[in-house]
């Protein structure tokens, strides 16, 4: 068996999948190692919103990254379908951020201005206009900020689409193989030690989501990340209740294929515990009923949780280890890893090939949040 590759990707979530796919497209021989099952962690738990404008305000380096990534989805959906046969279920029907109070309406007016100043498309609806588009909305909805360009996908399908497309292009993908340490020589990475022995490469990319921090401690890199649990549930109705994604301060509702709706998500910091709790799910359900009362008639499907990888400043890490050539890191995508996955794959492939990425990634550099003293 070949144990030497041009690149090794550690982690089979949406970020690892995207990096492997971008590298495979550029003709590299890639090995991807996943300790559990593919898309089995945050990437399989996500609601799939491409909320560049709904989740971010319209300014700053993260918004530029998100906007560039969002624009890649139309082409990507076709590419992944052709390469892997997987439909990522891209829906371009926009997002409605609802206001139930005067204060929320005022806040939406402020955000509208920010988006417009940045030449982004955004529109304000009255409550009646919002209900004309989405008749299931409650009478209490006072207005909505409509973000036409924020679409959504099926998150597990996206992660699997990247991974299976990389495989179709010749990458080797192994589940149930955990990387526990690295091999290096004179400040250069040369391989990984795993539960199936050693695999060698001059380019290793850590995309381990919330588990990246503990792995990178092996290489003396005290990355600061925080695990943040998110719980979701899903229901189904015979006739679809919604067409656009509904977003509010208390929850979001994302309409999927076949009358399915995903309702998310709680935000519980500093835990790797993935149990769903009655407290979390009942809070989401109460909030969802305030927005779409008829959801209480829907058929219950199930509930789940995932762990988001958060960083201290809310920006992802994308770059190379400051002390080891060839050890690359892409993690910390927190609430937006699905949205940011296509651009992350391309940026990391550029860095590995020694090319300058097409957009400024200096805000995401690894060195910004580590203590020099501990290195």
Q: Which residues bind ligand FAD (CB under 6 A)?
A: 10-16, 33-36, 40-43, 45-49, 178-179, 207-211, 215, 230, 232, 264-265, 306, 308-309, 331, 333-339
Q: Which of 44, 151, 264, 316 binds ligand GLY (CB under 6 A)?
A: 264
What are the Cα distances from residue 100, in Å, to 36, 95, 138, 144?
42, 16, 10, 9
Assess 332 for contact with ligand GLY (CB under 6 A): no
Q: What is the DSSP letter of 270?
A: S
Number of residues located near ligand GLY, criterion CB under 6 A: 8
Q: Which residue has the tokens 């920006």?
A: 315
Nearer to ligand GLY, 67 or 335 (CB): 335
* Closer by beta carbon to ligand FAD, 127 or else 326: 326
In whole angstroms, what is the distance from residue 352 CA to residue 31 CA? 15
**Residue 180, CA distances (Å) to 43, 208, 211, 215 in order:** 22, 12, 11, 7
> Which residue, 127 or 209, has its beta carbon nearer to ligand FAD?
209
Query: Is residue 265 a contact residue for ligand GLY (CB under 6 A)?
Result: yes
* Residue linked to tokens 């050693």: 198
- The residues facing 206 across adjacent strands are 10, 329
| Geometric angle at alpha carbon 308, from 157 and 93, rounded to 5° | 45
Residue 309 contact among ligand FAD, ligand GLY, none, beta carbon within 5 to 8 Å by kind: ligand FAD
Beta strands 143-147 and 95-99 are: antiparallel
CA 333 to chain centre: 6
Supply 117's token pair: 């100043």
If the CB atoms of residues 177 and 210 are measured against ligand GLY, the closer one turns out to be 210
Binding residues for ligand GLY restricted to 306-325, rule: CB under 6 A? 308
> Which window, 2-10, 47-55, 170-178, 186-194, contacts ligand GLY (CB under 6 A)?
47-55
209 lines the binding site for ligand GLY (CB under 6 A):
no
Cβ-based nearer residue to ligand GLY, 31 or 295: 295
Rule CB under 6 A: say whether 143 interacts with ligand GLY.
no
- Residue count of the chain, please give it: 375
Closer CB to ligand FAD, 111 or 303, in the complex = 303
Pairing of strands 7-10, 204-206: parallel
Using the rule CB under 6 A, is 230 a contact of ligand GLY?
yes
- Footprint of ligand GLY on this chain (CB under 6 A)? 47, 49, 55, 230, 264-265, 308, 335
């Amino acid at each position: 068996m070949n144990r030497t590759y041009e690149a090794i990707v550690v982690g089979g979530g949406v970020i690892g999948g995207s990096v492997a796919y971008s590298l495979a497209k550029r003709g590299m021989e890639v090995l991807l190692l996943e300790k559990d099952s593919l898309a089995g962690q945050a990437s399989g738990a996500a609601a799939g919103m491409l909320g560049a404008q709904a989740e971010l305000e319209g300014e700053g380096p993260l918004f530029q990254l998100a906007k560039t990534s969002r624009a890649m989805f139309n082409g990507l959906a076709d590419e992944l379908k052709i390469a892997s046969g997987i439909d990522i279920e891209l829906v371009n029907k926009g997002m409605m951020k609802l206001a139930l109070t005067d204060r929320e309406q005022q806040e939406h007016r402020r955000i509208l201005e920010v988006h417009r100043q940045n030449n982004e498309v955004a529109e304000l609806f009255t409550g009646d206009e919002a209900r004309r588009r989405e008749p299931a909305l409650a009478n209490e909805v006072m207005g909505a900020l409509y973000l036409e360009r924020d679409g959504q996908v099926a998150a597990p399908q996206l992660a699997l689409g990247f991974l299976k497309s990389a495989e179709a292009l010749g990458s080797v993908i192994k589940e149930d193989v955990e990387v526990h340490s690295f091999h290096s020589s004179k400040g250069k990475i040369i391989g990984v030690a795993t539960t199936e022995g050693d695999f060698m490469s001059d380019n290793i990319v850590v995309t381990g989501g919330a588990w990246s921090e503990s792995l990178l401690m092996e290489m003396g890199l005290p990355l600061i990340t925080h695990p943040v649990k998110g719980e979701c549930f899903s229901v189904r109705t015979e006739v679809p209740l919604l067409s656009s994604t509904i977003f509010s301060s208390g929850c979001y509702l994302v309409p999927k294929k076949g009358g399915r709706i995903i309702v998310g998500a709680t935000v519980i910091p500093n835990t790797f515990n993935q149990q769903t709790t009655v407290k979390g799910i009942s809070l989401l359900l109460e909030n969802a009923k305030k927005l779409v009362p008829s959801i209480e008639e829907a058929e219950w499907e199930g509930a789940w949780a995932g762990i988001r990888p958060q960083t201290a400043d809310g920006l992802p890490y994308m770059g190379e280890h400051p002390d080891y050539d060839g050890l690359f890191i892409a993690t910390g995508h927190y609430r937006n890893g699905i949205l940011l996955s296509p651009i992350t794959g391309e940026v990391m492939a550029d860095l590995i090939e020694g090319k300058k990425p097409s957009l400024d990634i200096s805000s995401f550099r690894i060195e910004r949040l580590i203590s020099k003293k501990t290195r």
